[in-house]
Structure 1
Amino acid sequence: MALNNTYGARPVQQETAVGAGIQLLLLALLGTAIGMGPAGWLTGLVFAFALWAVLSRALHRSRLRTFGPANRVTLGRAILVGGVTALVADSFESAPPVTLLVGLTAVALLLDGVDGKVARRTGTSTALGARFDMEVDAFLILVLSVYVAMDLGPWVLLIGAMRYAFVAAARVWPWLNAPLPPSTARKTVAALQGVCLLLAGADLLPRVGNLGVVLLALGLLVWSFGRDVLWLWRTARAAGTATGAATDEASLERELQDLVPVPVSVSERQPVG
């Protein structure tokens, strides 16, 4: 049985290896096109290895038998994000190829809604796929915030770091891990982060315009996270109050049972023999 499970997992693991190979090919094309420096190459290689290692481990733990078409779309987006990451790292050493960076980012953002639709139409929605999609989105926002911060200042990093700060806070306050209700507003705000950062990074607007766009994105993100945290806190508080009330009621019932003698049935009062 163990051999069958291992054999069934091979095609899934092979897809992650193919993804890593495509990532390396993209890095080679970018390096040839722009003469990418050591920082870009090193960052791109680290991203490729980390993507392969983390995704392979996640697939092994989830025991998926097939990778699925939706995950292939997300993997393609992750490969594009790896290219964007390498270009942003390279921009610390030389002038960034803005057109190429914007093009890769735009395609990655456009494909953001495709994997979810593919998963629903093919009936291949999984918890791993949803988490994979979310992590790719979060990392792209982080990379874009780093790029824009080089022009507008380090405060822009708050946009990319906010989701990771939330995850870290959830380790301290477990009530933050509770599931949130679906929200169109939350999805819209999340999608706008990439669009606003891409617009600022493309440098199509004057600096004041870029500043306004990024401030708007940050304000919406703070509002969205604040609303969700408040909802989680109220829900946890209400659950704690209900649990406390149930505990108090049970304690009161036990005390009453100790004070009031239990009625003895007629048969129990009859002497034996």
Structure 2
Amino acid sequence: MALNNTYDARLVQQETAVGAGLQILLLALLGTAIGMGPAGWLTGLAFAVASWAVLSRALHRSRPRSFGPANRVTLGRATLVGGVTALVADSFESSPPVTLFVGLTAIALILDGVDGKVARATGTSTPLGARFDMEVDAFLILVLSVYVSMEFGPWVLMIGAMRYAFVAAARVCPWLNAELPPSMARKTVAAMQGICLLLAASGCLPHLASLGVVLLALGSLTWSFGRDVRWLRRTSRVQDAEVEEILGLAPEPQTVAS
């Protein structure tokens, strides 16, 4: 039954069901290939169910005209991220094949640059698509940081947790929710995280070189977030001062008697 002229509830069921089905199929293939244990299966299935539920709710709330080709690319990338997540969970019991782990992660990272281009080329860019893309990126970085932290220590988790800490802080400090200006530096640093963590996880570099790459990722990410927080705080103070001036709440300048 159509809910309005542009949105059909069947869209939610069909598109998200396909994503969940592909996720389960990938888990079955991974389980057959490497004999994945219970931790990997349970984590992968939990990711599939959570992704289906969150995406279904987002589609139902935004009611897009169509799911769109770019979102389908992102959905495919999310399926790969679910596979990587299952492999990382399984690695607590047994080490996954490095080639398989690196291959899935590399494809997911490459597709990160595809969905945006598809959205722009087809004129289907939407806030939902941008948010979907961002959340998949953030979760992949979190999962990779968990994997790399098993070799270098829990401090690596700061890379994956920084974005979620920023979101949590924004609930306490609303000025952090303001829109940031476009920044090529921010995009570059964000893209670096997955590449650096994958290099460290692949084992293709000497230990010290891998450590340096991870430190580079953490340092650049800390700089990027710090720069954005300073800009948001400074902008918030300027806006507050302007509001106070308009409302006549600004303190009057004191005059010095001669």
Matched AA of 1:174: P
Partner of 1:55: 55
Matches within 5 A, 1:156-235: 156-235=156-235
Partner of 2:256: none
Q: Contact conserved, 2:24 with 2:45, CA < 8 A, in 1?
A: yes
Matches within 5 A, 1:1-273: 3-5=1-3, 8-248=8-248
Moved more, 59-68 or 186-195: 59-68
TM-score, normalised via structure 1 length: 0.89
Alpha-carbon distance between aligned partners in 2 of 1:240 and 1:111, rounded to the nearest angstrom: 41
Alpha-carbon distance between aligned partners in 2 of 1:65 and 1:176, rounded to the nearest angstrom: 31
Partner of 2:124, secondary structure, is: coil
Q: Contact conserved, 1:27 with 1:83, CA < 8 A, in 2?
A: yes
Q: Contact conserved, 2:11 with 2:66, CA < 8 A, in 1?
A: yes
Deviations 1:73-120 (A, max 9, x none): 000000000000000000000122111010000000000010001001
What runs of 5+ residues in structure 1 fail to find an aligned partner? 253-273
Partner of 2:255: none
Q: CA deviation at 1:241?
A: 0.5
Partner of 1:111, secondary structure, is: helix
Alpha-carbon distance between aligned partners in 2 of 1:199 and 1:249, rounded to the nearest angstrom: 55
Q: Contact conserved, 2:244 with 2:250, CA < 8 A, in 1?
A: no
Alpha-carbon distance between aligned partners in 2 of 1:226 and 1:62, rounded to the nearest angstrom: 32
Q: Which has the larger radius of gyration?
A: 1
Alpha-carbon distance between aligned partners in 1 of 2:136 and 2:95, rounded to the nearest angstrom: 26
Alpha-carbon distance between aligned partners in 1 of 2:33 and 2:211, rounded to the nearest angstrom: 31
Alpha-carbon distance between aligned partners in 2 of 1:134 and 1:14, rounded to the nearest angstrom: 23
Q: CA deviation at 1:249?
A: 7.2
What runs of 5+ residues in structure 2 fail to find an aligned partner? 253-258
Alpha-carbon distance between aligned partners in 2 of 1:251 and 1:177, rounded to the nearest angstrom: 28
Q: Contact conserved, 1:12 with 1:64, CA < 8 A, in 2?
A: no
TM-score, normalised via structure 2 length: 0.94
Alpha-carbon distance between aligned partners in 2 of 1:249 and 1:94, rounded to the nearest angstrom: 64
Q: CA deviation at 1:248?
A: 1.0
Q: Contact conserved, 1:12 with 1:65, CA < 8 A, in 2?
A: no
Deviations 1:35-91 (A, max 9, x none): 000000000000000000000000000011310000000000000000000000000
Matched AA of 2:3: N
> Percent sequence identity over matched residues?
78
Alpha-carbon distance between aligned partners in 1 of 2:176 and 2:2, rounded to the nearest angstrom: 39
Q: CA deviation at 1:9?
A: 2.5
Matched AA of 1:124: T
Partner of 2:248, secondary structure, is: helix
Partner of 2:2, secondary structure, is: helix
Alpha-carbon distance between aligned partners in 1 of 2:249 and 2:22, rounded to the nearest angstrom: 62
Alpha-carbon distance between aligned partners in 1 of 2:47 and 2:219, rounded to the nearest angstrom: 30
Q: Contact conserved, 1:9 with 1:64, CA < 8 A, in 2?
A: no
Alpha-carbon distance between aligned partners in 2 of 1:206 and 1:77, rounded to the nearest angstrom: 29
Q: CA deviation at 1:250?
A: 10
